[in-house]
Structure 1
Amino acid sequence: MSDTLYKRAGGNQALNINGNTVNGKSVDIAITTHGSDFYWAICAVMAFATFSFIGLSATKPRTDRIFHYITASVTMVAAIAYFSMASNLGWTPIDVQFRRGDPKVAGINREIFYVRYIDWFITTPLLLMDLLLTAATPWPTTLFVILVDEVMIVAGLVGALVRSSYKWGYFTFGCAALFYIWYHLGYESRVNANRLGKDVGRTFLMCGSLTAFVWLLYPIAWGVCEGGNIIAPDSEAVFYGILDFVAKPIFGAALLWGHRNIEPARLGLRIREYDEDPAVLGGTVGHREKATNGATNGVTNGETTGTTTEPAAQV
Structure 2
Amino acid sequence: MSGNQAINANRYVGQQANLQITHRGSDWYYTVCAMMGATTLIAMGLAFRRPQTHRLFHYLTASITAVACVSYFAMGSNLGQLPILVEFVRRRNRQVGSAGTREIFYARYIDWFITTPLLLLELLLTAGVPTPTILVTLFADVLMIVCGLIGALTQTRYKWGFWTFGMAALFFIAYELLYDARRHANVLGGDPKKTFWTCGIWLLLLWFLYPIAWGLSEGGNVIHPDSEAIFYGILDVLAKIGFAGLLLWGHRKTSPRNIGRNIIEPDQLFEKHGQDDGVTSQSGGAPSNISGSTAGAGHPTATPTQV
2:298 matches 1:307: no
* Aligned residue in 2 for 1:313: none
Give the one of 246, 251, 256 matched to 1:254: 246
Q: How does 1:10-89 map to 2 (within 5 A)?
A: 10-19=2-11, 22=14, 25-89=15-79
Name stretches of at least 5 consecutive residues in structure 1 with no aligned partner.
1-7, 292-297, 309-315
Over the matched positions of the two proteins, sequence identity in percent amounts to 50
**How much has 1:75 moved relative to structure 2?**
0.4
**How much has 1:227 moved relative to structure 2?**
0.1
Q: How does 1:1-315 map to 2 (within 5 A)?
A: 8=1, 10-19=2-11, 22=14, 25-101=15-91, 102-105=93-96, 106-277=98-269, 285=273, 287-290=275-278, 299=281, 304-307=284-287
Once structures 1 and 2 are overlaid, which stretch shifts more, 103-112 or 256-265? 103-112
TM-score, L = length of structure 1? 0.87
**How much has 1:199 moved relative to structure 2?**
1.8
**How much has 1:286 moved relative to structure 2?**
7.4
Contact 1:39 1:241 (8 Å CA) reproduced: yes
**How much has 1:275 moved relative to structure 2?**
3.0
Contact 1:20 1:30 (8 Å CA) reproduced: no
Once structures 1 and 2 are overlaid, which stretch shifts more, 98-107 or 39-48? 98-107
**Equivalent-residue separation in structure 1 for 2:221 and 2:13 (angstroms):** 20
SS at match of 1:110: strand
**Equivalent-residue separation in structure 2 for 1:286 and 1:60 (angstroms):** 25
**Equivalent-residue separation in structure 2 for 1:192 and 1:130 (angstroms):** 14
**Equivalent-residue separation in structure 2 for 1:263 and 1:192 (angstroms):** 17
**Equivalent-residue separation in structure 2 for 1:219 and 1:97 (angstroms):** 17
**How much has 1:100 moved relative to structure 2?**
1.1
**Equivalent-residue separation in structure 1 for 2:251 and 2:16 (angstroms):** 48
The runs of at least 4 consecutive aligned structure 1 residues that moved more than 6 Å come to none
SS at match of 2:102: strand
SS at match of 1:253: helix
**Equivalent-residue separation in structure 1 for 2:215 and 2:13 (angstroms):** 25
**Equivalent-residue separation in structure 2 for 1:202 and 1:248 (angstroms):** 19
Q: Specify the code of the residue in structure 2 equivalent to 1:29.
A: L
SS at match of 1:201: helix
Q: How many residues align?
A: 286
Contact 2:34 2:69 (8 Å CA) reproduced: yes
Name stretches of at least 5 consecutive residues in structure 2 with no aligned partner.
289-307
SS at match of 1:27: coil
SS at match of 1:262: coil
**Equivalent-residue separation in structure 2 for 1:218 and 1:305 (angstroms):** 63
Contact 2:127 2:181 (8 Å CA) reproduced: yes
**How much has 1:58 moved relative to structure 2?**
2.0
Contact 1:21 1:27 (8 Å CA) reproduced: no
